[in-house]
Amino acid sequence: TTTFLVGTPPTPFHLHTTLLISKSLYFRSMLLKSASLIKLITFSDIPAGVFELLVSWLYTSEITPLPVQDGRPAYCTLLNLYKIAVRLGFEGLQNRVVDVISDLADQTNSILSASDTRVLYNSISESSPIRQLVLDLFAFNRTDGLGNGEWQWPTQFLDDLCVHLKRPNEQALLRHNLREWVPECWTSSCDSCCRVLPPRHRALECEACCCPKSIDFLCLTELFS
């Protein structure tokens, strides 16, 4: 086994070296050729509680218990766990954190707070899949909370979200529940109206935004541009 001293004051963890080597590129490089020499590793800058979640995943492939604060998902803890997984080369843990955040957001109808997004944008790479996930959560689930305390949100996050909303992808379209819609009261219209939706013309209406568009005149991607 390899002993870890994590956090301040230090909390000891005794982990199987072969397990570390099999799941982490970082520890494979560090321990594979020198397992008999390295028996103690110190991470004073990693919170012991977050490292416990890493250990849980290491032995069970699950993040348990799921972090909760004041009755809602503790997304900040999961983001810090993701950051540590990147640092220590646990690719499987990175993927699991992304899945857990996605599932929690759907199950609890919640999104990250402004302070959570600051953690994301200040300490996690721009190319990270978790950034794309967070933008998806805001774009497809809710953006109503952004108007309160706008100064708290990272400027780059707001810029990225605006671009994301203007350029939806296939996933965005699939998350909208479309139904056929015909304006029964329309018997005539002016030239301008006809260019948008001719009278008695079949169309699609999005149940989320209630925006009718002619299926012959506009492509589906324009529904959400």
Domains and CATH numbers, the chain: 1-110 (3.30.710.10), 114-143+150-167 (no CATH), 171-224 (no CATH)
Sorted by sequence, the CB contacts under 8 Å of residue 86 that are 6+ apart come out as 94, 124, 125, 128
pTM over 0.95: no
Distance, CA of 157 to CA of 135 (rounded, Å): 8
Confidence at 165, pLDDT banded by 50, 70, 90: confident
- CB-based contact 58:19 (threshold 8 Å): yes
Whether residue 207 has pLDDT greater than 70: no
Region 25-45 average pLDDT: 80
Judge whether 115 and 80 are in contact, CB under 8 Å. no
Do 186 and 199 contact (CB within 8 A), yes or no? yes
Average pLDDT of 89-97?
Answer: 94
So what's the pLDDT on residue 99? 94
For residue range 103-151, what is the model confidence (pLDDT) as tens digits?
998 888 888 888 899 999 999 998 899 998 998 888 876 655 565 554 5
pLDDT of residue 36: 58
142, two tokens: 């809710």
Mean pLDDT of 169-174: 57
